Amino acid sequence: MIERELIVIGAGLAGCEAAWQIANSGIPVKLVEMRPFNSTPAHNTNEFAELVCSNSFGSLSPDRAAGLLQKELRTFNSLILQIADKFAVPAGDALAVDRSKFSNYLTNVLSNHPLIEIKRLEQLDLPSEDNITILATGPLTSDKLSYRIKNFTGMDGCHFFDAASPIIYGDTVDHEIVFKASRYDKGDPAYLNCPMDKYDYINFRNELLEAEQASLKDFEKESANFFEACLPIEEIARRGVDTMRYGPLKSIGLWNPEWGDLFDRENRLKKRPHAIVQLRKEDLNGKLLNMVGFQTNLKWSEQKRIFRMIPGLEKAEFVRFGVMHRNTFLESPKLLMPTLQFIKRQNLFAAGQITGTEGYAAAAAGGLLAGINASLLAKGKKPVIFPIESMIGSLMNFISNRNQILSNQKNNKFQPMPASFGLVPELPKRIKDKKLRYKAYQERSTEALNEFKKILDPCLGKEHLLTKIN
């Protein structure tokens, strides 16, 4: 008999995954979401798990860190990955989704689940200790709840500034100038590419450097602390003349036989454009296009003026301009166990980006683990720890008190971390070839998780339903 109430606060990627895992363990759960009563600077809809930055989950290849994380999530019936796969759009070797269909479908699935009760209200405090609670409020946690969390942990919340890229209408792109191609021929030619010569590039960079910034509202007097994996394009431009060309505007690896002599395979390093701006589909038909790597904090009028300098985008019309917002996260290595339980209150879990993991799949991974462990705790069983050989396990190790380096060293500042092979333990025998080494990581993870599931499945019991969405 379940006597304690199970509550998930936040219907982002982590919260939705956690609620799904709990409900499919045969346990009723309340999912609390503050929108539409209290929205954020980054959200545009009231749907669950709105993807506010980009529509990409990263590489699909299991011998890449992001791809391995996705593979692991599919092994454990992740709701987020099931729906992402269902509404995938062409993106080369990456998993990108139609974000509108993704969020809408996910909202309907959870809203119609018989064991999930949706509460549309702002959570102003942590629930009673009598309840099992998952805190999955994300990096945009409301001010009132952030204050309560600060009092509970005794620590100021860490933060960084994050930004989203603009989205443009696909039919306003000049297809006489842009061309289709995916880097290194991976997948179908899914990206639209806007080529720049050196003159275009230098002028574009100069305008970025002089452009007027949008204010950061009440945080504008602080020194901006950017997340390095999601820098505003103008910040990248400030770091050097060629920094953008070695980052989001790199042109290496692009080829299409239809280009003929303009791009010769053997001499492409000499003949390729000086820089390239890539556009990725937001929907299957390409009606909406995301400007890849163009996170920005420029004023909207400046975005329209400067981004129309890009060849092929002279008449671009914008669906959404880029925006910047402050993201808050916990100093998790001092607060959380690798089960995602708080050290000082073990029926309280944290999951998702508020814990300091970065990326959509990583948020889902936190929700999956917190949901499984909350279910086990409700059944009077011991929460589990994922094997560190897996990408899920290595991420949870990084953000937990297992990470003694970050927990104990005062001068070692904790910062958000995406999935990375740098987090997993070294192989018993060093493999020099990177591709072979990453493949070995993937094979070791698969073996470790297969053994882990043999232990986990009996713990979850026959009530645990590996339900597939339609």
Q: What is the CB-side half-sphere exposure of residue 365 using CA atoms within 13 A?
A: 33
- Closest by CA to 274, choosing from 182, 194, 212, is 194
Res 55: pLDDT: 87
- Closest by CA to 34, choosing from 163, 148, 162, 141, is 141
Res 120: pLDDT: 93
Instruction: Pick 340 or 1 by higher pLDDT.
Output: 340
User: What are the DSSP E strand ranges found in 190-271?
Assistant: 191-196
Cα–Cα distance, 438 to 458 (Å, whole number): 31
Domains, the chain:
6-162+327-460 (3.50.50.60), 167-322 (2.40.30.260)
Q: What is the pLDDT of residues 62-115, one digit of tens each?
A: 889 999 999 999 999 899 999 999 999 988 888 999 989 999 999 999 999 999
- Summarize the confidence of residues 10-24 as an average pLDDT: 95
Between the two ends of the chain, the Cα-to-Cα distance in Å is 30
pTM of the model: 0.79
Instruction: Pick 143 or 394 by higher pLDDT.
Output: 394
Q: What is the pLDDT of residues 161-171, one digit of tens each?
A: 666 788 898 88
- Alpha-carbon separation of residue 385 from 255, 437, 457 (angstroms): 44, 25, 14
Average pLDDT value over all residues in the chain: 85
- Summarize the confidence of residues 344-369 as an average pLDDT: 93
Q: What is the CB-side half-sphere exposure of residue 335 using CA atoms within 13 A?
A: 24
Is the pLDDT at 355 greater than 80? The verdict is yes
Cα–Cα distance, 343 to 337 (Å, whole number): 6
Q: What is the pLDDT of residues 297-316, one digit of tens each?
A: 899 999 999 999 999 999 99
Res 199: pLDDT: 92
227 DSSP 8-state letter: -
Point out which residues pair with 324 in neighbouring strands.
163
- Summarize the confidence of residues 48-58 as an average pLDDT: 86
Token pair recorded at residue 226: 């950017």
Q: What is the pLDDT of residues 181-207, one digit of tens each?
A: 877 766 667 789 999 999 999 999 999
Task: Answer whether 360's CB lies under 8 Å from 322's CB.
Answer: no
Long-range contact pairs involving 143-151 (C-beta distance under 8 Å, separation at least 24): 145/9, 146/328, 148/124, 149/330
Phi, psi of 443 (to 5 degrees): -65, -40
- Closest by CA to 337, choosing from 242, 245, 414, 402, is 402
For the chain, percent of residues with pLDDT exceeding 70: 84
For 240-275, give the secondary structure using H, E and C.
CCCCHHHCCCCCCCCCCHHHHHHCCHHHHHHHCCCE
Q: What is the pLDDT of residues 260-270, one digit of tens each?
A: 444 444 434 34
Q: What is the helix (H) or strand (E) element at residue 19, kind and residue range?
A: helix 13-23
Res 221: pLDDT: 40
